[in-house]
Amino acid sequence: MNTLRRLVLNRNSILVFAVVMGLVLGEYAEHIKAFNVYILAVTMTFSMTGLNLRVLDSFKKVITPFLVGIFLNYIVFGALVMLVAWLLMPTEQLFYGFVVIAAAPPGVAIIPFSYILKGKVDYAIIGVTGAFVGSILFAPLYVRLFANHSGINPLDLFYTMVSLVLIPMVISQILRVKPILGVVEKVRGRVVDWGFALLIFVAVGVNRQVFFSDPVILLLVSAVLFVSTFGLGFVFDYLSIKFGTDRATRIPQNMLATIKSSGFAVFTALTLFGKEAAIPSAVLAVMVLLYLIFLSIKSQHVNR
């Protein structure tokens, strides 16, 4: 309980700090924006040191959760968020922001929270790994299907995914060697939390006029993300129970269907489509945190 409390409150404090600083000191966001690619590369590398790719040794054992991770993160979540965003978004740029969210890999917080919520951690690792690998193909596909008129070449996004997903994944496994892993584990949480916080600061900072002057847009964006996170999570749990999925498996599956990497989405939206497209990703960071807190509280009641 104490570990869970520290984890959630720490990330909560950092996220709130990033959002507040973006609103107060947003004029400095443009200066940091130029370093986003390096911030994200380091953050992704450290975050993926939590992935132990040795669990992929046995193909027969891993193929199901590997494919389930891809299916839930890109097909189930992607289809829902695209549909609701298409219905509610007032501008093309905001819709493109949701295309990026649908294309983004899952949040690596799925792995530690699977442990905290007493789910299958190995299942979470394999599912997240599958979704990360799948992002290399699905991200360009989403841009091709839903943002074809934006002028963005899907091949450019493919190269981005290789640079910011595949290469960091390889480097992260090098950092897992015993002499280094101990040091990495001590600083990983801080590096990941503050790295994503900087990305959120930039997204909020460059769009702070919207946060102050256009609450309707914020309401619509929040509505799409609420349906795609809380709504989808509720329906998924209901159907999983009906079909007899055990709770330990249901926990990582639920998060694979609802949790995306907001930091990655922020960077990609800003880089490809501009600052307005980054608004959904900035709100996503808050929504994901609220959902993880909700799952934590719900788990406490279930375990009583």
Span 211-232, average pLDDT:
91
**CA proximity to 97, closest of 203, 202, 22:** 203
pLDDT band at 289 (very low <50, low <70, confident <90, very high): confident
CA distance 36 to 278: 13
Q: What is the pLDDT of residue 240?
A: 93
CA 270 to each of CA 28, 202, 276, 277, 292: distance values in angstroms, whole numbers, following the listed order: 16, 9, 8, 7, 25
> What CATH code is carried by the domain that includes residue 23?
1.20.1530.20
Burial class (CB in 10 A: 0-12, 13-18, 19+), 57: exposed
Measured in degrees and rounded to the nearest 5, phi and psi for residue 179 equal -65, -25
| Residue 150 pLDDT > 80 | no
Residue 260 in 3-state DSSP? strand
Q: What is the pLDDT of residue 280?
A: 93
User: pLDDT tens digits, residue range 79-116?
Assistant: 999 999 999 999 999 999 999 999 999 988 888 888 87
Nearest 5°: CA angle at 101, between 117 and 10?
Answer: 40
Q: What is the pLDDT of residue 225?
A: 96
| Residue 255 pLDDT > 90 | yes
Q: What is the pLDDT of residue 102?
A: 94
Which tokens sit at 3? 């570990």
| Residue 204 pLDDT > 90 | no
Output the pTM of the full model: 0.83
Residue 112 structural domain: 2-302
Q: What is the pLDDT of residue 92?
A: 92
Higher pLDDT, 119 or 154: 119
Where is average pLDDT lowest: 16-20, 39-43, 55-59? 55-59
Q: What is the pLDDT of residue 112?
A: 80
Nearest 5°: CA angle at 191, between 196 and 133?
Answer: 65
Question: What is the number of structural domains in the chain?
Answer: 1
User: What's the length of the chain?
Assistant: 304
User: pLDDT tens digits, residue range 114-131?
Assistant: 887 888 888 888 898 889
Of 23-27, 145-149, 243-247, 272-276, the range with the highest mean pLDDT is 243-247
Of 30-39, 184-193, 272-281, the range with the highest mean pLDDT is 272-281
CA distance 128 to 131: 5
CA distance 180 to 301: 39
